[in-house]
Amino acid sequence: MCGIVGYLGDKQATDVVIEGLAALEYRGYDSVGVAFISKDRAGKVVKQAGRVESLVPLVKQQALAGCHISIGHTRWATHGLPNSKNAHPHANNDNTIFVVHNGIIENYQELRDQLIKIGYNFYSETDTEVIPNLIDYYNKKTGSLEQAIRDTLNDLSGAFAVAILSTLEPDTIYAARVSSPLVIGVGENQDYILASDPNAIMEHTKKVIFLDDNDLAVIKKGKLKISDFKANTAKDPKVELLDYDQEKASLGDFPNFMLKEIFEAPQTIKTATLGRVLADEGIIKLGGLESINAQLRYIDRIVIVACGTSYYAGMVGEYLIEELAGIPVEVQQASEFKYRHEPFSRSTILLAISQSGETADTLAALEKVKDFGCLRLGVVNATGSSIARLTDAGVYCHAGPERAVASTKAFIAQVTVLTLIALYLSKGEHKSYRKLLKELELLPEKAKAVLDQANEIKRIALKYKDSSEFLYIGRTILYPCALEGALKLKEISYIHAEGYAAGEMKHGPLALIDKNFPTFALATNSAVLEKTLSNIEEIKARGGPIIALATLGNKKIQPLADEVIYLPETLEQTQPILAALAMQLFAYFVAEAKGLDIDRPRNLAKSVTVE
């Protein structure tokens, strides 16, 4: 989500870095900054909340011609608010060491406490600020900046990528990574450009060196040294040639963004729960809600407003919050909510869900109740977005940018976050509280197990790709998943699909069933499984083809369905996440087989900013 760019060479370094940061804007961010060393060997930092373009005039005022070394960063807030104070780069107390950082330092609080005890001050809310101060501590102890950086890197826990600049060695950039990408571009004139994504490099060179985990790169003019900072052993840099264009670089090995974003689901779940789910301690930490705890005690009703996929995520949230927290919930389409007349009180929450945070109808719903005295909360993916600013509090999804028009990982993130909110509101009193905490930690691996069945799901999709219509059915918490599955299919394959509550089949939809009308039935293990199987029997008796989603080990479904996709066993409350993944893959492979533009389906836009 965050982006790193660095440059050392003969060009104006700040220009190269800012251009690189602009190339990474698709990743999502809430603030931006650069550090550079001027001709007089003074270190300077320019940073602020907002867009890259707004930083340009500020940098030009300070970075005089002849600045040949710089690092920069676009930030997606994790620790601390999205403001200039928390923006990168961060510096040590002496302003001699500057750091940009992607990832999360899991033991930052422990390191911060230790540094405070020996006299260091901290000015931001970030985990990153411990890095330059820890380097400073070790440098004063060892007298070697490189050794200080090695010692610091070995003290850090978590996944990270860093770039480091210092007035102590004004002609050197240090860079290192652990489970977070960094690539070094090798220029024609012995210059180097560093980035977290090749997108920022390809305008300057296609010769690159991909850093591996535990690599520490020491970059000087015309000279590059790479070593393993844990083993302290030298490595020979391997230069590779980028042979794909800018768009494909951001796609990695995927043919389009939708498939890439589907396969990011395990990481999406991890990111949404990171630092929030403490299963061993039986704790849910939601910083966005902690500030309103006193108000939450008096809530007796929640109204969820959203559009499209976010609306269906909200419907899943209705089941979760009512079951786990015992609070009545209504879910309304934001486009209709604006024109309804209904009572609201101070004991009501309006919860807005939006991937972009800019959805016009959802914003209108928030505006409608601004004078009602009720609490307005948000579940959004984009920090600093309009909905994030308009609400009183909320929880970020932190799913990263989603470029395909059809939402996939945003739905996964939203349902995950709504599960966290339901658990938080339950105050730990529900019987499944601790089981769910543990299950959320296991869920990324189970999501991967669903993705591992992609070839089997593709086989089934090819069998049904020429169908002209489809029915999706489910019961209880899987009913909104049926609606979302139907939406995915119609969005990208242009096949008419309808989601329906399975128990309603006999009240009309059975009239549609024949041998050419397939049904996608969600029949995973639950308290109502037998009833769902009975609904499937109704369809089978009328000759309708059936694709079933079932829990691994369930043999009752086999004689009823033409095809079965098995999901790993999980709790009922987390089944929607795994079911959604299977349906996303099915829709994707149908559209792929039809040769359609999957990322940009006709007539649709990613963020709907008009009513």
Task: Enumerate the active-site residues.
Answer: 2, 606
- 501-530: b or e for each residue (b if 16 or more CB lie within 10 Å)? bbbebeeebbebbeeebbbbbbbbbbebbe
CA-wise closest residue to 199 among 27, 393, 453: 27
Residue 90: how many other CB atoms lie within 10 Å: 28
Residue 69 region by backbone torsions, left for phi larger than 0, else alpha for psi between -120 and 50, else beta: beta
For 279, the token pair is 């299963």
If you write DSSP's letter for every residue of 165-182 in order, what string do you get?
A: EETTSTTEEEEEEESS--
Q: At what angle do helices 265-273 and 433-451 cross, to 10 degrees?
A: 160
**Amino acid occupying residue 5:** V
Polymer length of the chain: 611
Sign of CA dihedral 134, 139, 142, 144: positive
What's the rounded Cα separation, in Å, for the pair 153 and 174? 12
What's the rounded Cα separation, in Å, for the pair 397 and 188? 41
**Amino acid occupying residue 34:** V
What's the rounded Cα separation, in Å, for the pair 131 and 153? 8
